[in-house]
Structure 1
């Protein structure tokens, strides 16, 4: 079944439309048996040729098929036009009106005075039958539209899960590195510092030149070890410059590329101080990345605004989005992303806030002091 669907998608739309036009003309020819006044054939030509434009102007093409429906009992052109209209609009009242209009056109005879000369019960039965025939392409078009919506939401859900897994992995890695850095700082650095202090005291108190030289060597090695430990702690906490990174890390220069790849209509305004640290730049980048991911996951179709700001005492970023344009797919969430952003803000001695806006959207803000204590 999937192979057949794939082959059908490879057929060019123009070829499909051309086939429908040919079938519509043959349908009219069979109903007229080759006979008909020029007015009828003009209606057939206009209604059939209009199928070439059914994807761009579905309502107009449907209206163009109504005259030929009045003159003869045709099915291909009106059904194709009605299906295209149903697959391209969400206005149920418009579709109901078009179905009734199609049923009325299929029930009328030409001239109109002949419509009510026969049995009215039979006319009503024919109207109901024609209405049922018109409802079929409407339901099928709506079904196809719903299928496309579900497929799109499944793709969005899968992309959101991929981002969620990537962010969760980054959060776990950051937590482990932070824990290791704390252990090295609180335990190892403390012990090495004591060694350096004791060696310094021995160097001053000892009268033996060899003992003093050994104490000086121990103290020098301890000081160098402390420097290396501080460098490793800085590296684990991802607070060093580019020369100390294990891998290239994002900075403010990568913000525009992040926004361009987010798949969300986003505006970027404002700026940050030019002298903020690499750690602060990376925190701002991760905050924007997590916020835009949450917008795409929880507010499909919403627009977002990223505002960078700073004053004499603080700097930060505010990300706000509008209300979602369509319902969001319910996805599992551990909220580890927001927890990680709050921890990143605390490392900068700042704050992180998040919450809904009065307009129905959502906003997050990172605020950090320009010169942390």
Structure 2
């Protein structure tokens, strides 16, 4: 057994996580992290294999450090993330239908119009923080509307999501700060999950329609709506901010996107790979499992280091470079197997709209100062991305 004293949740590591990711990935296929008493897998092939085998590697104990079966979770378990087949299957089937491309076709035009307006307003200011003015404002504008959320109380969405992600990690100062900032966010989400709080023409109403049809329970419908309130915003914000950060620092890549705005999706996928916004996810062994000589016992947790896997040189050439012409397919930023992210189709639609609008409307995109990383137990990206925009 290979033991490492690396603590992936130490503040200095969170500020510069790549060296720790590299140490974990290169030490062995599976390492024991003494700081938290868990296993960690950082190689792409091993992470992908764990994702493909939910019978051996369960989600039912939770996907964070805590074992939610022992009452250690801070909220009711997710019917998507915290269950395994066959319990997981009905909810997943409903979400696949609700978020099918044909069901979402009407959103593309709305997303494009909002993106154009937001980019034009940023151009008027010229020097902006892309992390907030673009990457945060756009999803916070279009996603709540698409779900059918009421206008009131949306300021609680980001504090609630922060609480969700920080609570996946250890009981440290980041988690304590998220709990302090959450304020009334829990009450807001409990209210917004209800059918009565949603418009009758959004994604939330479509989920409840499946409860009416008997495909899922009303309680499960509420928990599925909650997924949008807790997990579908921060990750997209961070991925967009990271992609803009890279484009601003690589004029050749920006020129390629300007010449071919259809590469917006490719740029986003490369941003996801290089700066995986949700870089860690846990699974729990259901039986004795041997991985390259290391034996994982039942109920022991394995942290899949997605950020490390997405920079694995065994999988990609020059993995630390940003290259929108790279075939980034196969990255693990959206998970994998039966638990791959159901909201990825919306995230990609958002990215194509915003990055496409930037490519068509902005002539020069350049840094206006250093980007500052966001310190988070369970998220990765930039808190600030100062850029200068010049009209096309």
TM-score above 0.5? no
TM-score normalised by the chain length of structure 1: 0.22
**Structure with the greater relative contact order (CA < 8 A, sep ≥ 6): 1 or 2?**
2
Q: Computing the radius of gyration over CA atoms, which structure comes out larger, 1 or 2?
A: 1
TM-score normalised by the chain length of structure 2: 0.21
Greater share of helix residues, 1 or 2?
A: 1
